[in-house]
Structure 1
Amino acid sequence: MTAEQISELINRELGRSSFVIDLNLKTPDEANYSAKSFLKKFSDKYKEYGHDDNEKGKYKTTYKYVFVTVLDDGVVAVVGKTTFHRNFKDEAYNNYAKSGKGGLGDLFKPYKNELTAQLIKQHFKNVGCNAETLSVEKKIKQAVIVPVKITGLGEASADKETKCWEKNIGNLLIGKKICILNRDSHLH
């Protein structure tokens, strides 16, 4: 199933607005382009979904979203949730660009040796690829982004709301018989 089809399914079945981004995390330049594209799409349509904080005199807005990563062969790798912060200087993107470590949330962080990375390598090993030399980031093609409206919610309530949507989306995909490599990721 394509990322666009998953996005349409989420929109139709759960009444949630979502969008698809291409994830080109192979090189820093491609990763920066993906990050800019993500921020533009998120800012254009979901700016009001954030929760404003004034922490230590630094005005910032916190955003939360659920993501579904889709591999280059159409298999879903993981359903996850994450958070990012922005301020008037657009520090979320600037921090990402400087560090390459994903100031935009877990979606943009390297997968390293976590369970999802191991499952992706095993998946491609099963179809004849050399898992030892496989770059997980090169196999992740797109992500469906589902912004969660947390305006006016405290941190605990915002986390609970995001977790609820992560669970609903994961359960929807499983209920529609869509293979998720890290099948229970949305339950933790």
Structure 2
Amino acid sequence: NMAALEIHVPMARAAVDVEVPTMVVFDLDPGEPATITECCQVALDIHDVLGRLGFELFPKTSGSKGLQLYLPLNTPATHEGASGFALAVAQLLEKHHPDRVLSQMTKALRTGKVFVDWSQNSRHKTTIGAYSLRARPRPTVSTPVTWDEVSAGADGAALSFTAPDVLARLADHGDLFAATQTLEQELPDLTGG
């Protein structure tokens, strides 16, 4: 990341323990002609499923074409457990919405669907950091958003922000992503153990 415009971060904090993820990410990637609108629709489905389990999620734009949902852990966890949990949620959504959700990585299957990229929880993967600029001709910012904004995005409202937009949002709303650093939530044991 030296001299880079984009800042990509792992799910673990290097200063604490790189083997212990502090969050689970659901990286929603639209396959054309799907857009962030469809990502927002899938995000609302994930929010509903995980909300029923008592989890709190934090959405942010990717600053590109997708959306990411973060489930803070800040409790003992493994990368394998985080990936397995994200995969199980992705497969559940794909089972109920096979026409618009995909859990498989095969790019040829993504047309018109939202790929729920669960593999971003792997030990050596990173995602664009909150508030990072994207290297584009018109630099946009990976921006934390509210669930009301995600709902509006599911109806077609734009979710694209520039650096001045984000500074104004911080002044108005504060840091919508701050709680991801401290909120403690535990993943369920999916191994049956």
TM-score for both structures, normalised by structure 1? 0.29
Would you tell me which structure has more strand in proportion to its own residues? 1
Would you tell me which structure has more helix in proportion to its own residues? 1
TM-score for both structures, normalised by structure 2? 0.28
